[in-house]
Amino acid sequence: MSTEAIRPKEAAPTTSPPIRGAFVSWAKLRRADTIAAGLGIPSHTIKYFHRGTPLLLTLCKYFLQTLRTLWILAMDRPRVVLVTCPPVFAMVPVFFYAVVFRARYVIDFHSGSFLEPEWRRWQWLQRFFARRATLSLVHNSDNARVAEEWGIRHLVFPSLPPDLPAGTLSPGRGSPEGSARAVYICSFKSDEPVDALLEAARKCPQVALYITGRAPEGLASRLPPNVKLTGFLSEEDYNDLLAGAEVVIALTTRPGTLLYGAQEAIALGKPLVLSRTPTLETHFTGAAVFSDNTADALRAGILDAVARRSELEAAMREFRARYAAEGQARLARLREAVGL
C-alpha cells in the first residue's frame, strides 16, 4: 500500500500539551536512536536484565518494562509512538496507551520478527498490532513481501548510518606490529558463521581479528593466536574499536536480513566485508567486498579488503554520501506519513 495514501488521524486534545512523538525500544538500538534523532523526538531504551535470562526472570523483565513504558508514555503524552519489534510484547503497552490517549503508533519491524523461530510463533499477535498501526517500517524488500501478505500499511526503511566519532584505538588495544586490524561485529546468534570466520583467521595470521559481543563459554579456548574476544564494550570503547579498524566484518547465513554492522562501517567510511546474500548484495552494491560464508572465501575476502583499503575507502565515501541523501528522503516520507 502506498504511503502517499496514508493520512494521520488527529489526536484528541489532552489536559497538558503532548510532545510530538517518542521512540520506545526494549533494547539499546542505534537504529532507534538514529531514526529518533532524525525525526527530532526522544528515544527511550527500556531494558532490565540482559539477554538470555531464565524464563521466570524474563517474565519479570517484561512486566517491569511494560510498567515503565506505560509510565513514560503517560507522562510525556506523545501523539505518535514508534516501537521496535521484536519483542512483540513491547507493543502491548504502546497499543493500550494509543487506545486510552487516542494516539497513533508505528511499528519498526526488524527482520527477526519475520525470520527467527522464537518470534514467528507470535506472528498472529504481530499482525493484530500491525493492522491497527498507522504504519509499519520494514528493513528491506524481502520483509516488505511479508507485510504485503499481511495487508498492512508499510514503508521500506533501511537503517540510517549513525553519527559516530572518528576516534583512535584505546591504549593497550593495538595490534601486533605489521598486522592489519579487522573487527567482526558479532552477537553470536545462530545465523552468524563464527566457526568459519575463526578458521579463516587461522589461515591469515597477518590480520589481527577482534570479535565483539558476549561469546559463549568455551570459545576462548578455540581461538587462533591472532584473534581476540573483546567481550561487551561500553559505547565509547566500541566506537573506538571500530574507528581503529582497517576492515569491518558483518556476516549472516540468513536471507532477507540487513546487518546493522554495515551501517556502522558506512558511518566511519571503513572497508566492509559482508556475507554474499541477495539482500546484502542488492542493498550495499559498491560499498563492500562480498564473501561466501566459508573459511576459504572469508579469508580471501578479508585479504582483498585489506589490500584494496584505499580504493574501498574512496568507494565507501561516495556510497555514504548517496546513502545519506536517500536516508533523508526516507525520513521526510516517514514524517509526512505519520504527521510528525
Q: How confident is the model at residue 258 (pLDDT cuts 50, 70, 90)?
A: confident
Residue 127: which CATH number? Answer: 3.40.50.2000
Same-domain status, 248 and 110 = no
What number of other Cβ atoms are within 10 A of residue 202's Cβ? Answer: 17
Same-domain status, 14 and 89 = yes
pLDDT of residue 95: 97
Mean pLDDT of 322-339: 91
Range of the domain at 279: 180-322
Residue 106 pairs in a beta bridge with 82, 135
Mean pLDDT of 110-123: 91
pLDDT of residue 17: 55
Same-domain status, 234 and 185 = yes
Mean pLDDT of 274-278: 94
Q: Is residue 174 part of a domain?
A: no
The residue with cell 498490532 is 129
7-45: per-residue pLDDT in tens?
A: 444 444 444 556 699 999 999 898 999 999 999 999 999
pLDDT reading at 203 higher than 90: yes
Same-domain status, 198 and 249 = yes
Same-domain status, 15 and 149 = yes
Average pLDDT, the chain: 88
Least Cα distance to 330 among 154, 163, 109 occurs for 154
pLDDT reading at 136 higher than 70: yes
pLDDT of residue 75: 94
Q: 300: Cβ–Cβ under 8 A, 6 or more apart, which residues?
A: 291
Minimum mean pLDDT range among 75-89, 139-153, 154-168, 202-216: 154-168
Q: How many domains does the chain have?
A: 2
Q: Is residue 168 part of a domain?
A: no
Q: For 98-213, list the strands marked E by DSSP.
A: 104-109, 135-138, 154-156, 180-184, 207-212
Same-domain status, 151 and 205 = no
Residue-level length of the chain: 340
Quote the pTM value: 0.82
pLDDT of residue 6: 44
pLDDT of residue 218: 87
C-alpha cell at 39: 525525526
Question: Residue 45: which H helix or E strand, with range?
Answer: strand 43-45
Same-domain status, 118 and 219 = no
pLDDT of residue 82: 98
